[in-house]
Amino acid sequence: LCKTGGRTLNHKMTNQRYPTTRMRRVRQSDWSRRLVAENSLSVDDLIWPVFVTEGTGQSVDVASMPGVQRHSVDRLVEQVKQAADLGIPAIAIFPETDPSLKTDDAAEAWNPDNLVCRTVAAIKAAVPSVGIICDVALDPYTSHGQDGLVRDGKVVNDESVAALCDQAVVQAKAGCDIIAPSDMMDGRIGEIRMALDQEGCEDVMVMSYAAKYASAFYGPFRDAIGSKSNLSTGNVDGGGKKTYQMNPANTDVAMREVALDLDEGADMVMVKPGMPYLDIVRRVKEQFAVPTFAYQVSGEYAMLNAAAINGWLDREAVMMESLVGFKRAGCDGILTYFAIDAAKSLAQ
C-alpha cells in the first residue's frame, strides 16, 4: 500500500488508476505552461489611446487616470515615437478642446485646422510608421457634451450623421488612417463610408464602435477631454447618452448593431467597454468572424490603478491578466491606456 502523508488514498487501496488524468502535470513548470498556452498577448495587439491639448511643452496629468497625461502636439509626437519604437501598431487620438471653441453646432469638429487635424498631420510627418485612429463623435466640440446635435432637447439622428460625415472627411484629409465613429447614431457608418469615398478617401479604413454601451466606466475619459461638466449641466436626455448608447442589460442588440455596421461597410468592429463585456466580444467574434476589438476604457484603467496605488492589487500582474483576457475572449486587438507599459513588459 502506498501511503501519502500518513493517509491511505482510496484509489490506491482499490488498485484504481484514478487519477490517470492529472490536470496539474502540464502546469508544473514555466516552460510547460508556456508550451500549452492557447492565447498570448503581443505588442501587435495594442492600440494606445492618447489625449492631446493646445499649447507647446505641455504634459498635464489626468487626475482620475494615474499615469495618463494630456500632451500638447509637440510632446505627443515624442510620446508616439516611443510607442513606435516599442512596436505599437496604432494610436487613437482624443482632443481636449478649448472651452471657447465648444458650440451647440460643434462646428470646430469639421474645421480642417482643428486640434485633432493638426495632431494627425504632425504625427504622420514625424512618425509615419504608426497607424492613426480618429474618433468620430461631436462630444469634444459640443457645449452640451452630447455626441450628436440637439434639437428641442433631443439628440437628433440624421442631422448629426451629416455633421459626423464632415468631421470624418477633415480627419481623413489630415492623414488619419482609421476613422472610428463612436457616436452610435443610426446609419452613420454607411453615410461616412460614402462621404469618404466621394472625397477620394476610399483607402481610409472604418473601425466602428459598433457595440457601445451607455456606461459609467467612461467617467475619467470625460474628465480628460473636459466634457463631463458640459454633459451634467446640459438638460439633454438627462445628461446621459442612453438614447443612443446601448443598455448594459442587452446582448442581441449588439449583434444587430454589428451586423448593420458591417453591412454599411465597417472594416473592423469594436466592443466598448471591455472587461465587463467580454461575453459580447465572444459572441461577435463567433458570429461574424471579422476583425474585432475591445476598448478597455478609462474607468477600467482607473479602477485597476486605484487598487494598485492602495497596494491592493499588483499593477503589472492585473494589467497583463486583463489584457490576455481580451485575447481569450476573441479580440484581435485592444485599445488600452496600458499600451506603453504592456509593450515594455512584453519586450522584457
Q: What is d(CA 106, CA 306) in angstroms, rounded to the nearest whole number?
A: 34
Neighbouring-strand partners of residue 105: none
The window from 16-24, 75-83, 131-139, 196-204 that contacts ligand PBG (CB under 6 A) reads 131-139
Catalytic site residue 272? yes
**Minimum distance, C-beta of residue 214 to ligand PBG, in the bound complex (Å):** 8
Residues 6+ apart with CB under 8 A from 227: 139, 140, 145
**Minimum distance, C-beta of residue 231 to ligand PBG, in the bound complex (Å):** 8
Residues 56-115 that bind ligand PBG (CB under 6 A): none
Catalytic residue, from 102, 212, 241, 327: name it.
212
Angle at Cα 218 formed by Cα 213 and Cα 220, nearest 5°? 175
**Minimum distance, C-beta of residue 175 to ligand PBG, in the bound complex (Å):** 20
Q: Given the complex with ligand PBG, which of 110 and 218 has the nearer CB atom?
A: 218
Q: What is d(CA 211, CA 247) in angstroms, rounded to the nearest whole number?
A: 10
218 binds ligand PBG (CB under 6 A): yes
Q: Is 38 annotated as a binding residue?
A: no
Catalytic residue, from 228, 241, 272, 285: name it.
272
Nearest one of 144, 176, 143, 181 to 163, comparing CA atoms: 181
* Residue 236: Cβ-neighbour burial (10 angstroms; 0-12, 13-18, 19+): buried
The site map against ligand PBG for 222-251 (x = CB under 6 A) is: x------------------x----------
135 binds ligand PBG (CB under 6 A): yes
8 Å CB contact between 294 and 41? no
For ligand PBG, the binding residue among 130, 174, 195, 297 (CB under 6 A) is: 297
What b/e readout covers 38-70, taking b as 16+ CB neighbours within 10 angstroms?
A: eeebebebbbbbbbbbeeeebeeebebbbebbb
Give the residue numbers marked as catalytic.
212, 272
> Which residues make up the interface to ligand PBG (CB under 6 A)?
135, 137, 139, 147, 182, 218, 221-222, 241, 297-298
